[in-house]
């Protein structure tokens, strides 16, 4: 890639809100229902049906706006965006063009070099989602599922402030984290509850004028977004350096094939003929409601991170990892309620838990073991009833099967041997059977004791308390 060009990126992020019902009707928003079973005259666009705004949608939109430092529009309204597409049963979409609910915000992220920078948010507006087209290539037909039609969305429109794919991912992760902590959406890219359209252009370094931008669609993972941006930047630079022009157009990214192709030209884009939505009145937001939402905002990731460092004396790295996803922070706090040591809980979550998630290709949200069971495991280890190797083995069963560790230890006879008299008899045999190691230890070779500890553990089938074995061995060897 040439180094003479600067990348300029802005995002339009669509987020499905976590309401139980749709934005303008009472149909369920549950994901995964049988096609066309969660529809009614309103969301299927039947003539004469009238929309009624779901108040929780407005509340979530305002909460996200407050958390992203936006100004809340006191007098907001809906507009009708007219276009025909098979997944749009009304032939129009109810959205907000002229008076969006939130404006002029920002979120702070880390740039390419790890320095803090601010990304502006132009606006956040509410709108309804469209249905879903399912293309059956074997039959050469396309099916339409209207279950998603009318699901509430907020669209978060950034300023063109990002300069690399790294900054884009940092911005999206910050947005996703914030929205998840608010409880406004699960932001699952694989289920379409968070979707990003990426506007990319390049310009010579030092230029104030923006280059011609393209819009990239069909991006459903952070990896796909990164690859699409890098590919598009290379494509635009190659065009410019070969004397050709970048065409302003919408492109679709094929992540399997690793390239994008044009969908439609922006110059030929249809006129949406926006006009005020005639079936919905304006929204007047009172000051006391804004104050109430502000006062009821939950503890967000940064605040939680700072509290973990101060309250539990956790290292900054631990606190950052534990608060990276709300579900992980929730699990951490539930385990602490069992009385477990915060640092030991942190070690299990960041170590063994993350290892098993990676091996099994699962996400944090897939964790389903009881917090009580991990708390109990840590307690058994602290009390010397099991050693670290046993604990690691038992934790895998907790992770996979959510077993009760106390019951498991009892049923499998794993409790460590801590009876001093019995251990002394075993250690005496180890000393008698290994005179060379005893001699080495007495001659100052400290490492020799490790071999003797190992032999003792072998005879006890790993059930002896290693600390007690070490202590007894040194006492018996010094006599």
User: What does the block give as tokens for 30?
Assistant: 């549950």
What's the whole-model pTM score? Answer: 0.84
Helices and strands of the chain, counted as H and E runs: 16, 16
Q: What is the pLDDT of residue 453?
A: 80
Q: Taking the CA atoms of 93, 282, 147 and 255 in sequence, report the sign of the dihedral they define.
A: positive
Pick the closest to residue 205 from 158, 160, 163 (CA basis).
163
pLDDT higher than threshold 60 for residue 267: no
Return the pLDDT at 2. 46
pLDDT range class, residue 140, cuts 50, 70, 90: confident
Q: For residues 128-153, give the mean pLDDT.
A: 92
What would the pLDDT profile of 405-420 be if each residue is shown by its tens digit? 999 988 887 776 666 6
Whether the CA torsion 254, 259, 263, 269 is positive or negative: it is: positive
> What would the mean pLDDT of 112-136 be, rounded to a whole number?
94
Q: Which structure tokens are listed for 132?
A: 């879903």
- Which range has the worst mean pLDDT, 318-322, 391-395, 415-419, 431-435? 415-419
pLDDT digits (tens, 9 = 90+) for 44-86: 999 999 999 999 999 999 999 999 999 999 999 999 999 888 8
- Among 88-92, 170-174, 226-230, 257-261, name the one with the lowest average pLDDT: 257-261
Residue 266 clears pLDDT 60, i.e. is over it: no
pLDDT single digits (tens) 4-13: 999 999 999 9
> Does the structure show a pLDDT above 80 at 143?
yes
Nearest-angstrom CA–CA distance, 392 and 377: 10
Total length of the chain: 479
C-beta neighbour count of 289 within 10 angstroms = 14
Q: What integer pLDDT is reported at residue 472 of this predicted model?
A: 81
pLDDT value for 418? 60
The vertex-10 CA angle with 4 and 16, nearest 5°, equals 150
Q: Which residue has the higher pLDDT, 246 or 436?
A: 246
Backbone angles phi, psi at 477, to 5 degrees: -75, -25
Q: Enter the tokens of residue 395.
A: 């934790």
197-205 average pLDDT score = 95
pLDDT of residue 270: 58
Mean pLDDT over all residues of the chain? Answer: 91
Asked if residue 113 lies in contact with residue 164, where contact means CB atoms within 8 angstroms, the answer is: no
% of the chain surpassing 70 pLDDT: 96
Q: Which residues contact 67 (CB under 8 A, 6 or more apart)?
A: 178, 179, 182, 297, 300
Mean pLDDT throughout 224-232? 95
Rounded to an integer, what distance in angstroms lies between the CA atom of residue 109 and that of residue 170? 6
What is the number of other CB atoms lying within 10 angstroms of the CB of residue 471? Answer: 13
List, as own/partner pairs, every contact residues 114-120 make where C-beta atoms lie below 8 angstroms and the sequence separation is at least 24, other chains included.
117/161, 117/167, 118/161, 119/158, 119/159, 119/161, 119/162, 119/167, 119/171, 120/158, 120/159, 120/161
Contact 350, 318 (CB under 8 A): yes
Q: What are phi and psi of 76, to 5 degrees?
A: -105, 160
Cα(460)–Cα(5) distance, rounded to whole angstroms?
A: 68
Examine the pLDDT at 1 and tell me if it is beyond 50: no
Check residue 447 and give its pLDDT.
80
Residues 145 and 32: beta-carbon distance below 8 Å? no
Q: What is the pLDDT of residue 37?
A: 96
> What are the strands of the beta sheet with 275-276, ordered from one edge?
92-95, 79-82, 275-276
Q: What is the DSSP code string of 390-418?
A: HHHHHHHHHHHH---HHHHHHHTT---B-
Q: Does 315 score more than 90 pLDDT?
A: yes
Residues 6+ apart with CB under 8 A from 192: 16, 148, 220
Per-residue model confidence (pLDDT) at position 419: 62
């Amino acid at each position: 890639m040439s180094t003479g060009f600067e990348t300029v990126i802005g995002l339009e992020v669509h987020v499905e809100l976590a309401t139980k019902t749709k934005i303008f009707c009472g149909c369920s928003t549950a994901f995964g229902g049988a096609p066309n079973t969660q529809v009614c005259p309103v969301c299927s666009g039947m003539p004469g049906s009238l929309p009624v705004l779901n108040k929780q949608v407005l509340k979530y939109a305002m909460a996200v706006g407050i958390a992203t430092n936006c100004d809340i529009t006191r007098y907001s309204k809906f507009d009708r965006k007219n276009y025909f597409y098979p997944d749009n049963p009304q032939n129009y979409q109810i959205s907000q063009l002229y008076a969006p609910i939130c404006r002029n915000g920002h979120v702070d992220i880390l740039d390419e070099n790890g320095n803090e920078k601010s990304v502006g948010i132009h606006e956040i507006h509410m709108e309804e989602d469209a249905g879903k087209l399912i293309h059956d290539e074997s039959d050469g037909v396309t099916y339409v599922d209207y279950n998603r039609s009318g699901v509430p969305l907020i669209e978060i429109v950034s300023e063109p402030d990002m300069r690399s794919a790294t900054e884009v991912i940092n911005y999206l992760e910050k947005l996703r984290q914030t929205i998840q902590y608010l409880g406004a959406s699960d932001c699952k890219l694989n289920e379409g509850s968070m979707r990003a359209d990426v506007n990319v252009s390049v310009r010579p370094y030092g230029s104030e004028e923006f280059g011609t931008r393209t819009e990239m669609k069909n991006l459903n993972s952070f990896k796909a977004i990164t690859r699409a941006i890098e590919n598009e930047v290379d494509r635009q630079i190659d065009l410019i350096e070969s004397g050709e022009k970048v065409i302003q157009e919408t492109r679709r990214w094929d992540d399997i094939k690793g390239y994008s192709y044009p969908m439609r030209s922006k110059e030929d884009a249809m006129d949406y003929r926006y006009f005020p939505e005639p079936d919905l009145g304006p929204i007047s937001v009172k000051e006391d409601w804004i104050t109430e939402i502000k006062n009821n905002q939950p503890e967000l990731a940064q605040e939680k991170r700072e509290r973990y460092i101060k309250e539990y004396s956790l290292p900054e790295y631990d606190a950052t990892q534990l608060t990276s996803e709300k579900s992980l922070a929730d699990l951490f706090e539930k385990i602490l309620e069992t009385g477990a040591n915060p640092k030991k809980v942190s070690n299990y979550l960041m170590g063994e838990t993350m290892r098993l998630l990676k091996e099994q290709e699962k996400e944090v949200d897939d964790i389903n073991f009881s917090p009580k069971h991990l708390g109990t495991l840590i307690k058994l280890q602290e009390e010397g009833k099991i050693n670290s190797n046993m604990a690691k083995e038992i934790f895998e069963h907790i992770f996979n099967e959510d077993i009760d560790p106390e019951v498991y230890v009892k049923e499998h006879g794993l409790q460590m041997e801590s009876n001093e008299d019995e251990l002394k008899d075993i250690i005496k045999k180890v000393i008698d059977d290994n005179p060379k190691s005893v001699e080495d230890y007495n001659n100052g070779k400290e490492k020799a004791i490790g071999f003797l500890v190992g032999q003792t553990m072998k005879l006890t089938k790993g059930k002896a308390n290693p600390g007690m074995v070490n202590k007894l061995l040194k006492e018996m060897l010094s006599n």
